[in-house]
Structure 1
Amino acid sequence: MLILKKGMAIIVGSSLLSLGLNGFLVPYQLLDGGIIGTALILHYYFNFQTGLCIILLSIPLFIYAWFHERIYFYNSLHGLLLSSLMIDWLAPLETQFTVPILPSSIIGGFLIGIGIGLMLRYETSTGGTDLLAQFISKWLSLNIGIVILIVDGFVVVVGYNVLGLQSFLYSSLTICVVGLMTSLIATKRSI
């Protein structure tokens, strides 16, 4: 039964994450943080596939997990592959919504945070920064949502130099919503 719940968490979480990114962040060139944000920067400037970039950028963390935290490797691999595939598959959504930038940044953060939090609740993730946050959270006994917020904030600050002030401000709002929703969803007990 736990495997079924974990599988559903990966499917629903990946879908929400992909919808949040493609439907609400990409139309305004907003960033999530971490590896997803880095992949979005590569998408905006070089038109690389976001999901593929997430996989490639996550390889060093998965190598580390393989040698040091193998349970995280196994628990995150499915989430990484499915969420990356869904992100690229749902890329056409970037032209389907006409929501203004402020609600778009909030809705996008809300969907992404719920998707990530749902996967983390069932001890899986999208890999990337979520995997790094799991390591840090375990080592320092910190709430994983707070760790994700700090790491994501770093990427958005770097994105300021690349995308400008407006994107920086709305992306900062987005990662705050992502961090809040991730904390709320991930820390609840599994049903």
Structure 2
Amino acid sequence: MSAFKIAVMASGSGSNFQKLAEAARDGRIPAAIELLVCDKPSAKVVERAESLGIDTFAFNPKDYPSREAYEQEILNKLLELGIDLIVMAGYMRLITPVLVEPYYGKLINIHPSLLPSFPGLHAARQALAAGVKVTGVTVHYVDGGMDTGPIIAQRAVEVLGDDTEDTLYARIQAEEHVLLPDTVRLIAEGKVLLEDRKVTIHNS
């Protein structure tokens, strides 16, 4: 049986990418991280991939006439490698049907809130501004909208009275580092079923 192949899309420091790569390397995820896709060639996540020996496609969106143009190049690479799952881990761009349609149900994202609350940027800041007592982390399928796809898994994070955006986000990120590898493991093991917008997990 061929290995379950994963591509990760990221734009920043890549701490979630690192956790995924380590989990795959250590056998905690029955899969191989085959490719990093990054829209910022100078991002730290590119250094992480290189140090881990993972191939990288780093590109500058301004070099392409449209979003669809560079996504077509990404899609070609994914198909060439036989990628089974795309994980968006801090990829800071909305994606178009060029990627969503061929990979729907095989394309996930991690977001630092309990969706549908606080989609988009600065989720921890949004949570503090709203005065909520609990926020958290969500892993969801991508449907092309702004954090609107079917929810796979969530973990809660308490909001403390003296939290700043940085302290709250640090605790959220710690939960991301647990939830994302665990969810990817379940998907790789074939235990996650998507029917319409309902996700069922068979964790046995």
- TM exceeds 0.5? no
The normalised TM-score by structure 1 is 0.30
Instruction: Return the index of the structure with the highest Cα Rg.
Output: 2
Higher relative contact order (CA 8 A, sep 6+): 1
The normalised TM-score by structure 2 is 0.28
Q: Which has the higher strand share?
A: 2
